[in-house]
Every structure is written in C-alpha cells, then in structure tokens.
Chains A and B, each alone.
Chain A
Amino acid sequence: MGRDFRLVLQQIKYQNRIFWRTPVGAFFTLVFPLMFLLLFTAIFGNDEIEELGVTTAQFYAPALAVFGAASATYTNLGITTAIARDLGILKKVRGTPLPPWIYVVGRVGSAVWLALLAGGLMMSVGVIFFNVEIIGRTFLAALISFLLGAGAFAALGLMLAALVPSGDAAPAVANATLLPIAFISDVFIVNANPPAWIEFVGNLFPLKHFVAAFGDAFNPGLTGSGFSWSAGPGEYAIGAHLAVIAVWGVGGAILALRFFTWEPRGGENSRRGRSRVSGN
C-alpha cells in the first residue's frame, strides 16, 4: 500500500512536470483568468457594483478562480488525456504493471492540484492588488466547494476525453462547451436579473453552482458559514449547489468509465495503414 501511495505521488509529479513544460496549458489555466481580472477591474474600476453590493474584484476574483479550476480540470485534463491516448501513451502504460487506477488518479490529482494553484494565485492577486477580502467564517466551506468542484470537473474532463473522437477534436469540443456555459454562469457577466430562461439553463449546468458555492463565500453581505442545504435570504449555503455539482461529477465519471479506451482511436486501422506504407 505504501508503495502504491508513492506511485500515486510520483504520477502526480510526472503529470505536473508535463504541465509546466507545456506553455499553452499553463497559459490558459494560470494567466488567462488573471488577464480577465485585470481587464474587468480596468474597464469597470474597482468600486462597488450596485446590483451585487461588492467591488468588481471581490466578485470577479472568485468567479475567475473557478474558471481557472475548470480550465485545469475539464479543459486541460480532457485535452491532454485524449492526446496521450492518440499518441499511444495510454496503451503503453496499460502494458506496464502500473495499476490503471494509479495512472488515472495521477492525472486527476495533478489537475486538481493545478486548479488549487490557479485558484490560490487568483485570490492572492485579488487580495494583494485589489483589496479582496477573505472571510474566515466561510473559508472552510469555500475550500470544500472548490475541491469538490475541481474533482467533479476532472471527472467531466475524463468524460470529454472518453467521448471525443480524437485528440485533435478535443480542444474545440472543450472550448465550445465550456465558454458558452461560462457566459450564462456568472463568470464573465454580472446580471442580477437575467431573462428567466437564461437563469434556468444556467442552473442546469454545474459551473454556475460552482461559481455560487465558492464565490458567495467572499460576499461580506451574506451570513452563515455556508454549511446548510439551501440559502435563505441573505445567507451563504453550499449544500444544494454541491449536490448539483456532485450529480454532474458522478454522471461524468460513469460516462468516462463506460467509454474510456486505452487504445488510440481507430488505432487498429491507422496502425495497419502506417505499417503497410513503411513495411514493404
């Protein structure tokens, strides 16, 4: 068991190293959300937003921290896993004694760790440069929400990898699903009274609940520690939000398990094709 635990840690480090050496992923996960924070505070100033009763940065820093977490898990994990599969890396790993669960936990663990890093970086920049206030009373609920959200989005990332036809298609599918949903999930646009159908559709997807469960912890106008099922007026509550996130996470995990393959897609054919060209 001790040996397996060491292997898990080693696999996480291995995946982290790949992440840091791949500038595209690191940029979109760490730098891109920060650019939005700078942009929004520059455009709107950092005064109180009347509709919400908090400053621009106090609202956007946690929302964009969640967006960074979704990039690290759903987008980045989904894309890199699909590409590794098409390169034949997953098949090769499957031929070694490394238990498959350790490989998957290594990938997911790395993605969640990087999500934490992206979130921590965002909140630190908010606190240091934009007077974002951290509230001790809600900190634990915020952290739990963040970890659960990152875990659920990692499951959805593996689902994405399992469902896309090829690694080439993965970035397009990831962005075409995450970005529109982000726009109706209070990540980029603040609107306290959106059209009812936008509100309804947004509530179906997990991102809005992720943003609310984490972001409301940074709203000084709300009361409570967050550990209750459903929010009364002016109260912070994560229970119902986390339930929606968990349902999506479990659903993603089930689909991932059902459709995940270790072999390159169309592998048999493409491999035969290749060897026919080079073999004779």
Chain B
Amino acid sequence: MSRPVSADTINAMSAIAVTGLEKFYGDLAAVGGIDLTVAEGEVLALVGPNGAGKSTTVEILEGHRRRTRGSVEVLGFDPETGGRSFRERIGIVLQQTALEPELEVAEILATYAAIYPKSLPVDEVVEIVGLQEKRRARVKTLSGGQQRRLELALGIIGDPDMIFLDEPTTGFDPSARRQAWSLIDNLRQLGKTILLTTHYMDEAQNLADRVAVIAGGVIVAEGTPAAIGGRAEGEARIRFRVGGGVTGEDLPPVARAGLDESDGQVTLETSTPTEALSEITSWALERGLELEGLTVERPTLEDIYLRLTGGGGDG
C-alpha cells in the first residue's frame, strides 16, 4: 500500500505541509508543536487517544479553528485565510451526522452540489456511496449507516482534491465498516488525498499509506502501517510446544531459556527470527518431532500504538 516518495518530491507535491503547529487554550497546549507532511494522493491516518490533539489538529487543517503558532499549508492555502477558493477544493466529513431530517437524499445533494464550481453529478455520487435506492428517501427514514454514507457523499460532491474524514466508521457494525473501507479505497483510486482520524488500528492498517500517532499534542511516531514504531525490525515472538520429558538441555541453544517445563510451552523473542527458526526446525527434523502450535508473530499495529501512547485503559 505504501508508495515511497523521496524527500524532494514530497515538498514539491505535498497536499499538507505543517511545521511547528501549536494551539493553546489559555495556558493549556492542546497541540504542542507538530510537523506533518502529506503527499498528494496519499492516505494518512492520524491516530491517538481522545484529548491527544487529534481533533484540534484536523480542525485547524480544515479551517474550523485558528492556530496559536506555526505554519500550515493545505493545497497551498492557509486554511485560516483561504476562504471560499480553499473550501472549493476540500471535502470535510465531520464525525457528527448533521442532516435535515425532512429532506430527501437527492435534494440535499443537489443543493450542496450547487455550492461548488465543479461538482460531481448527483447520480454519480449517489452510486459511489451506494444509495441509489434511497435517492428519493427522506433522511429520517435512513439507517444510521446510510446517513453516514450520505455525509460521505456530501464530502465528495464538490469533487475535492483533499478529503478530511473524522472517525468515519465509529459506531459501525463490522459489515458496514467493510463497506465504508472499500468506499474510501475507491476514493484513493481516484487520486484523492485523504486525512482520516480513527480509533481503530485495523482501519489504519487497511486504509492508510502512512500512520501518524499523536499523543499529548505531539506526533510520537510516523510511518507506514507495516513499519511504524520499529514494527518491521522489532522483536518477533516464536511460540511452540514440545512433548513431555523434553528438558532445557535437549533444546537448541536459542530456545533453551524460553521453555516452561511445566507444560512444554516455549516462547522466545528474537530480533533474528529467520536464524532462530532455522535452528529450531532443524533440531525438530533431526529428531522427527512435530512442533505443536508453532507461530511467529510480529507486534500488531495495536501493540505498537498502545506502547507509543502509554498503554491501555483510557485509550
């Protein structure tokens, strides 16, 4: 999913360029110095716990909030002063569903389409979000998921170059989430730059070219979903079970320390899993043993996220 781009071209074709962004509420720093670059056509997932500065950052990029310090450029505009011509080129899908309950899907879309100089045809957008059968339905008769899809439709009706998606699938059931993901993937195929915020690491993993983890108002890690936080080079965990009567001395040296003699479970963490596995499997083959429950795991994105954001609970 990642498209490596050299540093020079990032500057030349970046959709978002943020340096030293700070936002204070009184003495409280909601955003404490953020640098962020998003290339054109890239999908960036901004993840972080509530209150980490995620929403504030996105709202500054959207032009909904003023910054205290720093420089911000989105599509070459300063969002604070970009005004109408800036907003003609972005699409915002807020987390809160905000629709007039008595109006029909196509009525709302047509009215929003007229606001933009180069809008997409209503029928085309209705089809993209899969609401063909609901064209003439009133908003109040739509399900929650359908209303979210209408919000997404309003976000793309102006054919924007840059789309902001604020927690696009919060509250969705698993099948609705899959649908939304394929929708967002379609937008990527169209070459849109997308900045999305999410709580779900599988969402970031599936959709994003790059993930930025924000905590305490600063970006604590940034990278592709596969490599972020040292995920690609980090320790892998190898697990397997050996039969009763096998003692530490019988095992190959690399695995000795990992044996739990009470149940024969071996767990070891290594930064050179290929070498370790080779030793272990050769050892097993020589003895004609089958290693029960053999697995090799990389830390998941969720593991990395929890480590970076200081662990667990409150999230």
Q: Does A240 contact B (CB under 8 A)?
A: no
**One of A84, A95, A274, A279 near B62 (C-beta < 8 A):** A95
B96 within 8 A of A: yes
Tell me whether A275 and B167 are in contact in the complex, defined as CB-CB below 8 angstroms, given that A89-B98, A89-B99 are known contacts.
yes
- Chain A residues whose CB sits within 8 angstroms of the CB of B97 once the complex forms: 88
B102's partner among A21, A98, A264 (CB-CB below 8 A) is: A21
Q: Do A271 and B95 form a contact, CB below 8 Å, given A17-B103, A97-B115?
A: yes
Known: A88-B98, A272-B51, A275-B50. A99 touches B114 (CB 8 A): no
- Classify the interface of chain B: helix, strand, loop or mixed: loop
Given A7-B114, A89-B100 in contact, is the A279-B84 Cβ separation under 8 Å? no
Is A97 within 8 A of B315, CB to CB? Answer: no
Complex Cα–Cα for A96 and B151 (A): 13
At the interface, yes or no: A173 with Cβ under 8 Å from chain B?
Answer: no
Instruction: Assess whether A95 is in contact with B170, with CB atoms less than 8 Å apart.
Output: no
Report whether B199 and A21 are in contact in the complex, using a CB–CB cutoff of 8 Å. no
Task: Give, as a whole number of angstroms, the nearest-CB distance from A277 to chain B.
Answer: 9
Does B87 interact with chain A (Cβ within 8 Å)? yes
B103 A21 Cβ-Cβ under 8 A: yes
When A96-B158, A279-B315 are in contact, do A18 and B103 touch as well, CB less than 8 Å? yes
- Residues on B facing A (Cβ under 8 Å): 50-51, 55, 62-64, 84-85, 87-88, 90, 92, 94-100, 102-103, 107, 111-112, 114-116, 154, 158, 167, 170-171, 199, 314-315
27 A-B contact pairs sorted by A residue (CB < 8 Å) = A6-B114, A10-B111, A11-B111, A18-B103, A84-B100, A88-B96, A88-B98, A89-B99, A91-B94, A91-B98, A92-B98, A95-B62, A95-B94, A96-B115, A96-B116, A97-B84, A97-B85, A97-B116, A98-B115, A271-B55, A275-B167, A275-B199, A278-B170, A278-B171, A279-B50, A279-B199, A279-B315
Known pairs A7-B115, A271-B55; list 11 more (Cβ under 8 Å). A7-B114, A10-B111, A11-B111, A89-B99, A95-B64, A97-B115, A97-B158, A98-B115, A274-B96, A279-B315, A280-B199
List the 6 closest pairs (A to B, CB-CB), nearest first.
Answer: A88-B98, A21-B102, A95-B92, A97-B87, A88-B96, A279-B199
